[in-house]
Amino acid sequence: MSKEECDSIFIASTNVLENINELQSGKKLGFKRKLKEIKEEALQEEMLFSSEEFDIFGGITEDKTKLSILGNEKHREIKKSKFRILEINKNTENEKFIEVLEEIEKNLRSALNKAKFGMKLNAFFASDAPLNNQTYSILYMNPQNAIDTAKEVDKINLYSIKLKEKTKAIALTNIIYYDNTNRTLPLGMNISDKIITNISKLKLEPKKQKLFRINQEIDEITVHTKIICVYEYDVVEE
């Protein structure tokens, strides 16, 4: 994949994914609110790192010779900046924000069109909405991580999707989160267990359905019960 495609996958793993999906509806609602939210994030990060040089796109200027540890291996790579990729600064207008998101969505389509997952694996997605309403989605290898994304919902639909070697899905490996300029980045998935795919483009065959309850401890005396509806699907290769 190109650097632009990797950058776009990184952005899709952030809180901007819902806006990327909205582009396909043609409504383009909520973009001004999201832009304001991201600008506030950038300002907070600037204050947190006030001793560092903060560039015009909201990213921290890092020392490219600095050694970091990832997966017990040393590297000299820089973490990707959401603000830099989205070209966010204090003067960014809504039209520019939408233009950048449209380019990111184009790069996502390009990356997934040429992707093959390469292995058989059950991936999980949690939502309170039907699966057929989903487009670009982040799936998880660990079902608990999927469930944790729906903490505020009492009844969760947990979708288990059996990906195959030829499924158009991409695992978020280390290179999605770092610019590998120095070619020192360790291989693997040391940062997350996330996978991105466009669920609406997958041909899914329902297999099983079951229901169970889990108890989540809120504090020492409060326990909250959640209902989990599990739906299992196979990806049918065309």
Locate the domains of the chain by residue range.
Answer: 1-115, 116-167+203-238
Q: Are 193 and 173 in contact (CB under 8 A)?
A: no
Q: Are 83 and 42 in contact (CB under 8 A)?
A: yes
d(CA 141, CA 162): 11
* Residue 53 pLDDT exceeds 60: no
Q: What is the reported pLDDT for 57?
A: 45
Q: How far is CA 105 from CA 46, 79, 143, 153, 233, in A?
A: 28, 21, 27, 28, 26
132-187: pLDDT as tens digits: 778 999 999 999 999 988 877 788 899 999 999 999 999 999 999 999 888 999 99
Rounded percentage of the chain residues whose pLDDT exceeds 70: 89
* Residue 214 pLDDT exceeds 90: no
Q: What is the reported pLDDT for 61?
A: 52
Confidence of residue 45 (pLDDT cuts 50, 70, 90): confident
Q: What angle do CA 29, 33, 36 make, to 5 degrees?
A: 145
pTM here is: 0.86
109 vs 53 pLDDT, higher one: 109
Confidence of residue 63 (pLDDT cuts 50, 70, 90): low
- Token pair recorded at residue 89: 């600064």
Please give the single-letter amino acid code of residue 188. G
d(CA 75, CA 56): 26
Confidence of residue 50 (pLDDT cuts 50, 70, 90): very low
87-96: pLDDT as tens digits: 988 889 999 9
Task: Select from 178, 199, 193, 71 the least CA-distant residue to 127.
Answer: 199
